[in-house]
Amino acid sequence: MAVLNQASVLHMIKEFRRNRHALCNSERATLCGADSMLLALQLSMAENNKQHNGEFTVMLSDVLLTWKYLVHEKLNLPIENMEVVDHYEDIKKTYDNFLKNSNMLDLIDVYNKCQILTSNCENNSMIKPMQLRDFLCGNECAVDAVDD
């Protein structure tokens, strides 16, 4: 068994940078890791809360609940029986607009763009959605080695 680590994500980022002209409209973009993604989500939720309730605040438990849902949704992983906060679609739109207006991409966007590259070739070195989810959530992920 091999353990998925930062090297797999770094390989994905290198592939993205190598092929950014085909995958990204901008010459420069900031790539957000998990910490920046959480911060952007928290700010988006606070902005949404200000619009609906007048206060620029958000509870940490709501941020973490929304984070879990957002990661699963963006990676097309099952979301059955997951709770979601009120106004989730507004929050997601604010989050996406925040990234776009800041010329930023989160790691899931990079992953999805890299999927375009690997879908046309036999390259199986791309990490799996559940592995990226585990990486973003700080979980160690064991990957079965492929037997030849």
- Whole-prediction pTM: 0.81
| DSSP letters for 58-83 | --HHHHHHHHHHHHHHHTT---TT--
In a domain, 121, yes or no: yes
In a domain, 78, yes or no: yes
pLDDT at 142 over 60: no
Q: Residues of the chain with pLDDT > 70: what percent? A: 85
Structural domain span for residue 38 = 2-20+32-142
**How many domains is the chain built from?**
1
3-state secondary structure 77-108: CCCCCCCCCCCHHHHHHHHHHHHHHCCEEEHH
pLDDT in tens, 32-65: 989 999 999 999 999 999 999 999 999 999 999 9
Spatial distance between the Cα atoms of 127 and 34, rounded to a whole number of angstroms: 16
In a domain, 75, yes or no: yes
Give the residue-averaged pLDDT of 82-99: 93
In a domain, 27, yes or no: no
Instruction: Share the mean pLDDT of the chain.
Output: 83
Asked if residues 134 and 69 have their Cβ atoms less than 8 Å apart, the reply is no
In a domain, 25, yes or no: no
Of 22-31, 72-81, 130-139, least confident by mean pLDDT is 22-31
Question: What is the reported pLDDT for 1?
Answer: 32
In a domain, 132, yes or no: yes
Structure tokens at 114: 């890299």
Structure tokens at 131: 């592995």
Is residue 143 very low, low, confident or very high in pLDDT (cuts 50, 70, 90)?
Answer: very low
Mention every residue, 6+ apart, whose C-beta is less than 8 A from residue 27: none
Question: What is the reported pLDDT for 137?
Answer: 83
